[in-house]
């Protein structure tokens, strides 16, 4: 019987690594040969600065080890590790978040708050970035019961699980919304999310980091709370200060590595807009296909413009929000071109004229329109600030409407309802 051949590992000084041009961009080489990832992919990129970042990051170890030109040590979380994940599974959509997103999301411990008022408070106080994101999406974070039955691998075989599914599984609409956001991310972002998910078995906090909605410190604190590692004397899940400090530094360092990787690939306005559209309509987001063009009548119609202003007025009277003009209800980008304006300036002038006429100049500073080019078309993104003490009344043909957001709709309140709404807003 032949003995199994041991692959020799060579210690390599980082000064032995170089970057050279190649077809499609640049690659890291060791001597005359390309450096490979663990999976055997050449470490190459269209941008030289990305490869420089990889080399500089692992300089903290002094040397690295390679086996058959494959980078094998150190195995610490690094840009090179994230890059390897991207090439090996993310770009081919073979990572578990692409294959089984619902199961991965269900495994995030943030849905399973620790029993007990003190314990729950200790966790919730560290999850503010998630709650803020949920409010932005117009959703609530589900609170679930963790399944510990006899069919861990396939809970669907358990009658108790099937009969009480809502208690064990996030709502389908919630899962689909979060999954659509994940799928809308660039491959570099998905690679960072998946690498952190694989390390910490969480989904929401890695996505927040990729979306720039939490800091490395907030990531560390939040994920530690998910893992029930907090330093609170009054909480049963409290750990000693030393253990808490060491864990925090570990989580924060991984978040820092991921953040620096993400910073190499800033999102463009078009990418940010596409991510917003992927989130779908909500309490704080609405789509309108045009500013004045009536798709069914095939003509300009003031009613269409008024519908846009109704949404804006409703946002101004509640929590604010974003109106996307040039996007169909389905999320399909149709653009504002069919509104027939000769230039962007003419479009914005028409928009502001109606705004001043129907809402008044006092609200102009609370509204920020921006034209974004995406998929060869232009979308008008109108950001509206939340209620700040001055109510917005929408005027048309001598009459006034008072509108608010209720769920994903703009609703006109009756006179008897307006006072109650105003009182609730001023007291909140």
Give the model confidence (pLDDT) of 345-392 as tens digits.
999 999 999 999 999 888 888 999 999 999 899 999 999 998 888 899
Every domain range in the chain assigned CATH 1.10.3580.10: 96-149+166-267
Backbone phi, psi, residue 117, to 5°:
-60, -40
Taking the model in full, what pTM does it have? 0.72
Handedness of CA 279, 281, 283, 284 (dihedral sign): positive
CB within 8 Å of 333: residues ≥ 6 apart: 277, 326, 327, 374, 375, 377, 379
CB within 8 Å of 130: residues ≥ 6 apart: 110, 141, 204, 205, 208, 222
Q: Could you say which architecture CATH assigns to the domain 9-76?
A: 2-Layer Sandwich (3.30)
Angle at 211 (CA atoms; ends 100, 194), nearest 5 degrees: 35
Domain 273-427 fold: 3.30.950
Angle at 419 (CA atoms; ends 416, 422), nearest 5 degrees: 145
pLDDT digits (tens, 9 = 90+) for 337-349: 999 999 999 999 9
Cα gap 369→322, rounded to integer Å:
10
96-149+166-267 belongs to CATH 1.20.1250.20: no
In the sheet where 70-73 sits, what is the strand order?
A: 9-13, 63-67, 70-73
Q: pLDDT tens string for the chain (428 positions)?
A: 344 444 566 888 778 889 999 998 999 998 889 999 888 999 999 999 999 999 888 777 667 788 888 887 666 788 988 999 999 999 999 999 999 999 999 999 999 888 777 777 888 889 999 999 998 888 899 988 776 666 667 777 777 777 777 777 889 989 998 998 898 888 999 999 999 999 999 999 999 999 999 999 999 999 999 998 877 665 556 678 788 889 899 999 999 999 999 999 988 888 889 888 888 888 899 999 999 999 889 999 999 999 999 999 999 999 899 999 999 999 999 999 999 999 999 999 999 999 999 998 888 889 999 999 998 999 999 999 988 888 999 998 888 999 999 888 899 998 888 888 888 776 65
- 200 contacts 104 by C-beta, under 8 angstroms: no
CB within 8 Å of 282: residues ≥ 6 apart: 137, 138, 139, 408
Distances (CA, A) of 41 to 70, 74, 283: 9, 18, 45
Cα gap 268→135, rounded to integer Å:
24
Nearest by Cα to 123 from 103, 141, 148, 104:
141
Every domain range in the chain assigned CATH 3.30.950.30: 273-427
Every domain range in the chain assigned CATH 3.30.2180.10: 9-76
């Amino acid at each position: 019987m032949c003995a199994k051949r041991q692959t020799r590992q060579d210690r390599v000084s980082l000064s032995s690594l170089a970057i050279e041009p190649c077809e499609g961009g640049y690659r890291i080489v060791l001597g005359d040969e390309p450096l490979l990832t663990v999976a055997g992919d050449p470490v190459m990129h269209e941008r030289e600065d990305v490869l420089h970042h990889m080399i500089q990051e692992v300089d903290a170890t002094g040397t690295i080890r390679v086996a058959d030109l494959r980078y094998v040590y150190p195995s610490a979380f690094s840009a090179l590790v994230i890059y390897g994940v991207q090439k090996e599974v993310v770009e081919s959509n073979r990572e578990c978040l692409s294959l089984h997103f619902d199961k991965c999301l269900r495994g995030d411990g943030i849905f399973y708050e620790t029993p007990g008022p003190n314990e729950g408070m200790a966790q919730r106080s560290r999850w503010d970035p998630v709650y803020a994101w949920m409010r932005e999406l117009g959703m609530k974070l589900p609170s679930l019961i963790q399944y510990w039955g006899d069919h861990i691998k396939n809970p669907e075989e358990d009658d108790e699980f099937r009969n009480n599914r809502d208690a064990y599984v996030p709502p389908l609409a919630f899962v689909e919304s979060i999954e659509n956001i994940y799928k809308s991310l660039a491959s570099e972002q998905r690679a960072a999310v998946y690498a952190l998910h694989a390390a910490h078995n969480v989904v929401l906090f890695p996505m927040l980091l990729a979306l720039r909605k939490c800091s490395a410190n907030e990531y560390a604190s939040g994920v530690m709370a998910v893992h029930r590692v907090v330093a609170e004397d009054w909480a049963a899940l409290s750990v000693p200060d030393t253990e808490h400090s060491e864990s925090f530094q570990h989580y924060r360092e991984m978040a820092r590595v991921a953040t620096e990787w993400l910073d190499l690939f800033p999102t463009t306005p078009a990418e940010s807009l596409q991510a917003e559209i992927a989130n779908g309509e909500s309490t704080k987001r609405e789509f309108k296909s045009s500013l004045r063009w009536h798709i069914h009548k095939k003509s300009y119609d003031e009613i269409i413009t008024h519908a846009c202003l109704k949404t804006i007025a409703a946002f101004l009277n509640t929590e604010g929000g974003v109106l996307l003009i040039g996007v169909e209800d389905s999320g399909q980008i149709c653009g504002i071109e069919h509104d027939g304006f000769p230039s962007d300036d003419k479009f914005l002038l028409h928009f502001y004229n109606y705004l001043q006429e129907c809402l008044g100049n006092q609200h102009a500073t609370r509204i920020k329109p921006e034209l974004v080019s995406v998929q060869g078309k232009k979308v008008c993104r109108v950001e509206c600030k939340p209620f700040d003490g001055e109510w917005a009344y929408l005027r048309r043909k001598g009459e006034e409407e008072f509108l608010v957001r209720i769920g994903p709709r703009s609703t006109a309140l009756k006179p008897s309802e307006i006072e109650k709404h105003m009182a609730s807003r001023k007291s909140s």
